[in-house]
Structure 1
């Protein structure tokens, strides 16, 4: 088991200063190759990466947590993909938007909220529910946190519990993701993110502004997790064993689930074509803070990539192209692994 090209690409990402450090793992069935390289903090001082540190995984919350909660509710016949969201969120006025639109980012929900990050949770909730549907409805996949915030509220409406509590109870604990949490108790065990002009060094507190305001009622971000826990998650998904959704639902993630079926988006996950060993699809997702998960459900292989690309300064746009190149290197190299 060897991923020399991918590991070298990760090291170059650190050596040229694109990110402070990376924790990574490659999964091949029962085998796992893991490593870490570089620093976890540059400001206020240099700190080398330590094992078992918690990362703010940002939008990986959507696919590790919220997507699986929604799929569970569908399996339990408490929710359907064609249900209108106004059935659960009566403040929302547009009857066209369904659960499927939200989970595939084809809802077209758009609009500007003045001083969004300065609002209280109640004010932000009301403002989000007053947004409108734009011209992209169904026609275009436009990635938006709002879709998964709404999904979290729908899950709460059905169960009576906030989405982050549902994720902890239904996903993290059953899978044995014992380190993962929405409320880190010790900031020193967390990899820091941005040095904010208003918040200082953000460490042990969620980076995402909407999640910071909405707290346990945010289904789009907020999860802190370790490399080991995300390996646990991927291994369960790849083996379809111990995973919190049905094997049929796992396989459904390989299908384009958008209303028009040609936008390369499944339930929560993005679809990624690969030609090796034969043409097929993988699933993947990223997080704003510099995280990514890739899974090949056909070959039972996966990659976990954790960095803090927003430390010390966001947005670090140069990172995105480099991350995509690393994923492509991995996809090519994993076909060679025996």
Structure 2
């Protein structure tokens, strides 16, 4: 008898659990159905028709040929199963196409010079760089060559150099090529040139390090042609947080008009090969005092403070170098 009672009690508990689960499922369906119904109704309304609670189309009786059904089924599927697609994100390459001027490729080179070989370095480049330009029949153009006045300087000692009054350790060079194809062709030619290979052999012992980036010009900022401006140059370099180039360009392009009222820019580039997510822009001033006044004036123009606010938050690191042009530089 006790065994029978236990069996009946177990059956009763199982029935109670089953009933509870059924009620929960029914409740879930009841809660979901209005959501689906509203989604169906909204989708039909946006497509130009109305859908009643039973799902019959009052404006289009032939539901099998109704185009909005594809949209409706997509919405229902999204509600029940989640979205089946990922948002389309622009790639760095597509940004390059949309942001770049497109005509030229620029190679930014940076040399860290051994202090004891500084004079030898200046002499070697003064002889070789103009010859490279001449022998290329203008297929390679030297935008400019500069030495650092303020920025990365020699910390090994207080050595004096005959050509400058301070101890410089870095040199910047910007070369211009007619697109990637022009760059590839000229590099191939130089690799086969014994004179150029000898130059590299002589150069390497004079340097602590060297690096380069292949960069494109921003479409809104054409690089200056060769001209003697005098004064000093400022190269500002920003490392952007990945994925922020497009937003930076949008804000900076607007803010540039504020700065242009007081100082015309020299050029601006963003990296495509080498170290990525870098932006460089260059300015020319008669002297540091003029630079100070120019920057102060920009803050008084509507829009500049907003530009700074919107761009600074996109930056991982920033650097400003004051540069002096070398004697053979195209921009000086």
Query: What's the TM-score, normalizing by structure 2?
Result: 0.26
- Larger fraction in helix: 2
More RCO (CA 8 Å, sep 6+): 1
Query: What's the TM-score, normalizing by structure 1?
Result: 0.26
- Larger fraction in strand: 2
